[in-house]
Amino acid sequence: MSELLTESIRWVNLPFTVLLGIVVVYWLFVAIGFADSGFHGDSGGDLGGFHKELDLNKELGTDGGAIHKEAGGGHDVGWFGHTLTFLNVGAVPLTFVVSVLALCLWTGSLLINRYLTGGSPLLALAFLLPNLAASVVATKLITQPFRPLFRLLLREGPDETPVIGQRCKIVTSEATPDFGQAEVVTTGAPLLLNVRTMNDARMVRGDQAAIVRHDAERGIYYITPLPDSDTQTPNPS
């Protein structure tokens, strides 16, 4: 144990140790929240918080589509968005993915600097990218089995409001065949859905559409513009 602690606080490993420490503190606060809720006999609030954490899927897009867009203009962010999708962000809660990635980076740093670099700063720097690449792949493999679990936790139950055939309103800057979210008005809180347009249609915030199909595997709904919505078509140029 002392040897592990010594390796962890070596300056070549320290950044990853600090990152992992932040993750551990975060989950300790989460655990304390659940414990405090159980002590006072009220688990509803914390379970609600847990489901809010799972609802990162809805904010990011279950298939990772929304993370391909910049906050400002809805432009593709390229390799960064694809990396997040590869890491299952959206299908698995972001904090869970970050936690696994931090653990993989820390473990990789300890092993590399113990057996390959001998603590050499230059060699440790040279192995940063290989460690990151290996950690990303390991995170993908570790989080992949959790996709069905979180999909099950987020799946609409039989008592949920049916949405096929209902009207929805676009709430993101745009809705396209690759990106979009829409809101469905219910008797309770509005439902926020990940949506994709059909036939290359492009819609903007506030447009009205009809929900025509549900892709349960990807967790998205296909929509078609309503006649009274101001639908835009893709620019040929």
Span 103-162, pLDDT tens digits: 999 999 999 999 999 878 899 999 999 999 999 999 999 999 988 887 776 554 444 557
128 and 58 in a common domain: yes
3-class SS at 11?
coil
Q: Does 116 reside within a domain?
A: yes
Assess whether 148 and 68 both reside in one domain: yes
Which range marks the domain in which residue 207 is found? 157-225
* Widest Cα–Cα separation across the chain: 70
Residue at 56 is within a domain: yes
Evaluate whether residue 230 is within a structural domain: no
Closest residue by Cα to residue 122 from 47, 12, 17, 33? 12
* Domain end among 153, 176, 198: 153
The values of phi and psi at residue 2, to 5°, are -65, -35
Check pLDDT > 60 for residue 232: no
What is the rounded CA–CA span in Å between residue 61 and residue 193? 9
Amino acid making up residue 210: A
> Residue 136 has what pLDDT?
94
CATH number at residue 179: 2.40.50.140
Which of 107, 138, 153 is the endpoint of a domain?
153
Specify whether the CB–CB gap between 42 and 54 falls below 8 A. no
Q: Would the pLDDT of 58 be above 50?
A: no
What is the Cα–Cα distance from 223 to 209, expressed in whole angstroms?
Answer: 6
Question: How many other β-carbons are positioned within 10 Å of the β-carbon of residue 117?
Answer: 17
Q: Which of 103, 111, 100, 110 is nearest to 139 (CA)?
A: 100
For residues 105 and 13, membership in a common domain is answered with yes
Write the pLDDT tens digit of every residue in 176-196: 998 889 999 887 778 889 999
Instruction: Give the angle 88-151-132 at the CA atoms, nearest 5°.
Output: 15
Please write the tens of the pLDDT for every residue from 67-90.
Answer: 444 434 444 445 666 777 788 877
Residue 122 counted as domain residue = yes
pLDDT at residue 36 is higher than 80: no
**235 lies in a domain?**
no
Is residue 13, in this structure, part of any structural domain at all? yes
User: What CA–CA distance (Å, rounded) separates 219 from 224?
Assistant: 17
The answer to whether residues 168 and 124 belong to one domain is: no
DSSP for 80-146, written as a single string: HHHHHHHTTBTTB-HHHHHHHHHHHHHHHHHHHHHHTSTT-HHHHHHTHHHHHHHHHHHHHHHHGGG
Angle between helix axes 128-143 and 79-86 (nearest 10 degrees) is 50
Give the helix/strand (H/E) hosting 170. Answer: strand 167-170
Ramachandran angles phi, psi of 180, nearest 5°: 150, 155
- The 10 Å CB-count burial string (b at 16+, else e) for 56-67 is bbbebbbbbbbb
CB atoms within 10 A of CB 12: 22
| 148 and 66 inside one domain | yes
194 and 104 housed in the same domain? no
Residue 66 has pLDDT above 60, yes or no: no
**Amino acid occupying residue 104:** C
